[in-house]
Amino acid sequence: MDALMLARIQFASTTLFHFIFVPLSIGLALLIAIMQTMYVFKKDEIYLKMTKFWSIFFLINFAIGVVTGIFQEFQFGMNWSTYSRFVGDIFGAPLALEALLAFFLEATFIGLWIFGRDKLPEKVHLACIWLVSIGTMLSAFWIMAANSFMHNPVGFVLQNGRAEMNDFLALLKNEKLWVAFPHTVLGSFATGAFFVIGVSAWYIYKKRDVDFFKRSINIALVVGLLSGLGIAFTGHAQATYLMHAQPMKMAAAEGLWEDSGDPAAWTLVTSIDVENKTSSNRIDIPYLLSYLAYGKFSGKVEGMNTLQEKYVLKYGDGNYVPPVKTTFWSFRIMAGTGGVLIVLSAIGLFLSFRKKLETSTKYLKFMVPVIFLPFIGNSFGWIMSEIGRQPWVVNGLMKTADAVSPNVSAGKVLFSLITFSTIYLILGLVMVYLFVRVIKQGPHEKVKEDVSTSDPFETGEMQNATK
């Protein structure tokens, strides 16, 4: 493999691994804030225990997530120096603000929240965890602001051989940012909710601390259902955005080579032949693609062949079709997981309302592996979004092949890829070990053994040791 392909593999693998931790931190911070709020206003000790128990997972995940994020910064300078020079004036601003404002907010108030328990006034301590939750969302906002520029470059002028910022507000008002950010944050809420649901389901199934975990799962089911519905609505907003901003990505996500009819049918599954540019054995749902694209049941969608001709006229010779199969199936896996999460959370709330949750052993067993479903949806959503943008690293401005560092050899990239992967594997194993250990221990604090202490000078042990 050449340096470009290895650099792409490294960026994809490290980003996907980092993206395991970020949504879980955002989701758990919100749930813990809700639980602590219920404790402050209801004065029921069980909500305080819930806050303490779930915060252990949050803190472990947050700490490891921060470490995995550091490697992301390294890569821009190591493997993507041409890209960094070209957009550094723009890309650096939101990343710096993420570190200076959002991360500092999180780190400061996490410290106050951990060490301020029983020392700060109750409502001030509660405000700390809400500020932590807001900080996690602000982090996502600034990262998404940087990423949105890559999809829809705005607020810049080309001069001195690079893109230089001339309108910071345009960066914040980027249309891509305001369709992608809510979708990403709601996906994070669902990730935290289904983690709590899965762990709670296991405890209820095992008949351990049933009251504690029934209350936990009920809170998480509400958050999970609302998040799932929000994901669906914001996902639709993303589709309508793609139609006018990135139509090639939309066409690839549909496996649509030729222009559709009017109204356009949405393809559930198909067999894609990239070499011959055909999609056969289609199972279509009439009208649905028109609705996804325009919010109405009419309107045709341009296919990749038509768009390719337009792009050649606009940008010059080249292949502007992204990896179609990856884009097509990533979109369906992402959308499918979102739909399943809505159904499962609705079933859980129905069972809880009918007071049958505790006895629904099949549902409880099924919900344990469902913990991983939001992670799958998040990952494939990110793959669809980034792969669908290819061959551009910055849409319409710079191709990925032109962004790689010119003086970094394939051997060097391979070395850093192996190093990062090894470190990530160790971090992943540490996280799993710690999570399993906390789950086995349960929500009740261990009673500290009576440890008697003695002064070695009084007992004579110190004098004996110096003889």
pLDDT in tens, 365-424: 999 999 999 999 999 999 999 999 999 999 999 999 999 998 888 888 899 899 988 998
447 pLDDT more than 50? no
Q: What CA–CA distances, in Å, run from 441 to 28, 54, 71, 203?
A: 19, 13, 32, 11
SS3 459: helix
Q: How far apart are CA 39 and CA 395, in angstroms?
A: 48
Q: How far apart are CA 79 and CA 76, in angstroms?
A: 6
Handedness of CA 362, 368, 373, 378 (dihedral sign): positive
Q: Please, what is the end-to-end C-alpha distance for the chain in angstroms?
A: 67
Instruction: Give the pLDDT score at 455.
Output: 58
SS3 2: coil
Neighbours of 320 (CB within 10 A): 19
Q: How far apart are CA 354 and CA 349, in angstroms?
A: 9
Q: What CA–CA distances, in Å, run from 429 to 196, 310, 372?
A: 20, 48, 16
59 pLDDT more than 50? yes
SS3 393: strand
SS3 137: helix
Residue keyed to tokens 């490891």: 64
pLDDT in tens, 200-255: 999 999 999 999 999 999 999 999 999 999 999 998 888 899 888 999 999 999 99
Name the nearest CA neighbour of 224 among 343, 401, 52.
343
pLDDT in tens, 1-58: 788 899 999 988 888 888 888 999 999 999 999 999 999 999 899 999 999 999 999 9
277 pLDDT more than 60? yes
**Contact predicate 310/301, CB 8 Å:** no
- Report CA dihedral (62, 66, 69, 73) to the nearest 10 degrees: 150
Q: Residue 218 belongs to what H/E stretch? A: helix 210-245
DSSP 8-class letter at 359: T
Instruction: Give the pLDDT score at 102.
Output: 82
pLDDT in tens, 97-120: 888 888 888 888 999 999 988 889
SS3 176: helix
Average pLDDT, the chain: 89
- Report CA dihedral (44, 47, 48, 50) to the nearest 10 degrees: 150
- Report CA dihedral (39, 45, 47, 49) to the nearest 10 degrees: 130
- Work out the angle at residue 418's Cα, subtended by the Cα atoms of residues 412 and 420, and round it to the nearest 5 degrees: 100
Over the range 53-71, which residues count as b (16 or more CB within 10 Å of their CB) and which as e? Answer: bbbbbbbbbbbbbeebbeb
Contacts of 117 (CB under 8 A, 6+ apart): 125
**Contact predicate 241/181, CB 8 Å:** no
Instruction: Name the pairing type of β-strands 266-273 and 156-159.
Output: unpaired
Q: What CA–CA distances, in Å, run from 111 to 157, 365, 454?
A: 41, 36, 33
SS3 3: helix
Neighbours of 418 (CB within 10 A): 11
Instruction: Give the pLDDT score at 65.
Output: 86
* HEC-encoded secondary structure of 253-295: HHCCCCCCCCCCCEEEEEEEECCCCEEEEEEEECCHHHHHHHC
Contacts of 169 (CB under 8 A, 6+ apart): 155
